[in-house]
Amino acid sequence: MNALVEFRQVCYRIGARDILRDLTLEVEEGETLVLLGRSGSGKTTALRMVNGMLFPTSGEVRVEGRPTTAWDPVRLKRRIGYVIQEIGLFPHYTVEQNVGLVPRLEGWDPARIRKRAGELLTRVGLEPEQFLPRYPRQLSGGQRQRVGVARALAADPPLLLFDEPFGAVDPVTRTELQRQFRALGRDLAKTSLFVTHDVREALMLATRIALLHDGRLETLAAPGEFLRSGSGEAQAFLAGLDWRQETAG
């Protein structure tokens, strides 16, 4: 197995506060590794270190075997797709321009970009003719999130980062998006690193779950093992799952 991303004894400190403590973790090619944790557990920080939005205080993060500090920052980011909860679609660009952004920055010719944008919209379940000319404000939350995923896939990056991408949509749409995400992951055989605080989502999407607690890696396990984990934090998350099923509408 080949590690596409490696965290090696990564620490991250802001002032006197440790956000990440000695994180060592490998993301294998083709897998969907879910970083699960409470708010403030350091999961987003870890994610942002992969594409060089942040750099470790000590230790290193390697992508394709090379430390992120040794990559050209722009090259590194263009090789990695990135989807955040707020999506961050460009409001002054149409869906086509949003999806085609990285290809355009990479200098693809317009006909190829257009074709690619159409293909990707179809992939994420949006009718190209109908949606390519629209602006983000003309889309629903779920549609925006789909466009965000299509945009991250545009230049066919080997690695995708997701930061609670489905956190802001309604529960029904979320389940739909999660299903589609899982199917998409199988189709495209991409490597994904996925941040969430939703244990149900983690269990559904992950090949492995890395549970972070106070900046430390608490448990690293496949979903089946995770369910049987004796770790206190894992139990706390799983208890949340029961509670959710009892009361959530």
Partner 1 sequence: MSGLSGELLDLTLEHLLLVLVSLAIAIAIALPAGVLLTRRPGWRVWLLGFANVMQTIPSLALFGFLIPVPLIGGIGKRTAIVALVLYALLPILRNTLAGILGVDPAVRESAVAMGMTGRQLLWRVEMPLAARTILAGVRIATVTTIGTATIAAAIGGGGLGVFIFRGIASVDTKQILAGAIPAAFMALGADAVLGWFERKFSPA
Chain residues that interact with partner 1, rule: CB under 8 A? 51, 53, 74-78, 80, 82, 84, 86-93, 101-102, 105, 135-137, 151
Amino acid at 184: L
Of 88 and 223, nearer to partner 1 (C-beta) is 88
Q: How far is the CB of 229 from partner 1 (least distance, A)?
A: 32
Q: How far is the CB of 190 from partner 1 (least distance, A)?
A: 16
Of 76 and 177, nearer to partner 1 (C-beta) is 76
DSSP string, 43-66: HHHHHHHHTTSS--SEEEEEETTE
Residues 6+ apart with CB under 8 A from 133: 94, 95, 96
Q: How far is the CB of 88 from partner 1 (least distance, A)?
A: 3
Of 37 and 136, nearer to partner 1 (C-beta) is 136
Three-state SS annotation for 87-121: CCCCCCCCHHHHHCHHHHHCCCCHHHHHHHHHHHH
Of 84 and 193, nearer to partner 1 (C-beta) is 84
By CB atoms closer than 10 A (0-12, 13-18, 19+), residue 167 is middle
Of 117 and 203, nearer to partner 1 (C-beta) is 117
Q: How far is the CB of 223 from partner 1 (least distance, A)?
A: 28
Of 38 and 78, nearer to partner 1 (C-beta) is 78
CA 142/CA 140 separation, integer angstroms: 5
CA 194/CA 44 separation, integer angstroms: 9
Q: How far is the CB of 107 from partner 1 (least distance, A)?
A: 13
Q: How far is the CB of 47 from partner 1 (least distance, A)?
A: 10
CB 34 within 8 A of CB 209: yes
